[in-house]
Chain A
Amino acid sequence: MLRNSRSEILVALVLIAPFCAVYGLVFVYPTIKMLLLSVTDAPLIGPGEFVGLDNYTRLPGERRFNTALWNTTYFVILSVVPGTIVALLIALGVNRLSGRLQALVLALFFLPYILPVSVVYRLWDWTLNFQFGVAMHVLDWFSIPRIPVFKTTTWFMPAVAFVTIWWTAGFSILLFLAGLRAIPVEIYEAAALDNAGRWNTFRKITWPLLWPVTALVLTIQLILQLKIFDQVYLFSFGGRPNDTMVLVQYVYTRAFVSNQGGRAAAIAVTLFFIVIIVSVLQFQLLRLAGNSGKGDDK
Chain B
Amino acid sequence: MTVIFKEETFHDDFTFRNSPEAVKRFPFPFPEDSYMYSVNLEPHKSYRPGSVYERTFDVDEHYVSEMRDRARVLAEDPLRCQSLPHMTLAGWDLLELIMTSKAEEYPELFELHRDGAKWHWINRPLGIEQKFTFLDETTLPYGPMEYITRQTQGDFAVLDQRDDNLWMDAGMVTTQADWSLDFDIGMNFFEWHAPVPKAHEMGIFQRALKFLLNVRQGSPARRLNWTMTVNPLLDTSPENYHKWGVMKKDLTLENMGQMMHLRVELQTFFRLPRSNALVFPIRCYLIKLDELVTVPKWARRFHRVIRDLPIELATYKGFVTNRPKIVEWLSKYDNGAPTSPGIWPD
A, B co-complexed: no
